[in-house]
Structure formats: C-alpha cells, structure tokens
Amino acid sequence: MGQTCRFGDVLQELIDLLEKMTGQLMMNRMDDFKDEITELSRLLEMSFPAIISSYADEKLKDVSADAGYWSEQLGRIIDTLNMDDKFARIDVLYQETRANLIGYYEMIKDLPLANQMIEVPETA
C-alpha cells in the first residue's frame, strides 16, 4: 500500500491550488499555470472519487443527489482545461469548483469522513 493523506487536508490543498491557479490566469502567467496542471490532476484523482463516494454516507443522505454534480464537474474541469479560454477556466476552476469545494468541506469538516485516509497516487 502506498502513501495516504487525510481527506480533509487534500480538499484544503485542492482549494488552495485552485485559488493559486486562478491568480496565475488573472496575471497572465500561463507558464506558471501550466506548471500546476500535474499537481491539479493528482489532487483531482485523489479527491473526486472520495467526494463522489462520500454521498453514500448516512450523514449525507439528504444531499445524496449532489454526487452527480461532482461527476459532471470533473468533466467540465477537463473540458475547460483543454480550451484556450482564460475566462472560462477562471469561471469553472474558481467560481464553480473552488466555491463548491469550500461548501462541501464546510459540510463534512466535523464528520469522521474528513479524517478518512485516502491513497496518494503514484507519481512518475
């Protein structure tokens, strides 16, 4: 078994990275933005399956339909990163994804789920 991280910490790291990347977009620092894509991919790979599966938790049953949003949002992130539209990237990464991750984190931060350990993907 590989290295693991606390789920809540991974969410915070992803939120912080999305903010950093948005700043890079706004300042037209595209090389810096592109340098962060690998880390973004790693954090998405770690967090999104855990986010989606978390809606099976009994404490989240009232909002279980939200799991579908995250599946769709992952697709939107990938599609947007493949576009050259800086403003679409800012909208999807910051206005949608980051904002909703903050709301999700607030919802789970006091649940045992936030302390769940998730596996860190192997890096090349």
The pair of structure tokens assigned to 62 is: 């009232």
Instruction: Kindly indicate the confidence band of residue 34, based on its pLDDT and cuts at 50, 70 and 90.
Output: very high
**Is 88 within a domain?**
yes
Structural domain boundaries enclosing 49: 4-111
In DSSP notation, 40-81 reads HHHHHHHHHHHHHHHTTSGGGGGGGGGHHHHHHHHHHHHHHH
pLDDT in tens, 35-47: 999 999 999 999 9
Question: Based on the structure, what is the number of domains in the chain?
Answer: 1
Whole-model pTM: value is: 0.92
Is residue 119 one of the residues assigned to a domain?
no
Assigned domain for 124 exists: no
Q: How many CA atoms lie within 13 A of 33 on its CB side?
A: 18
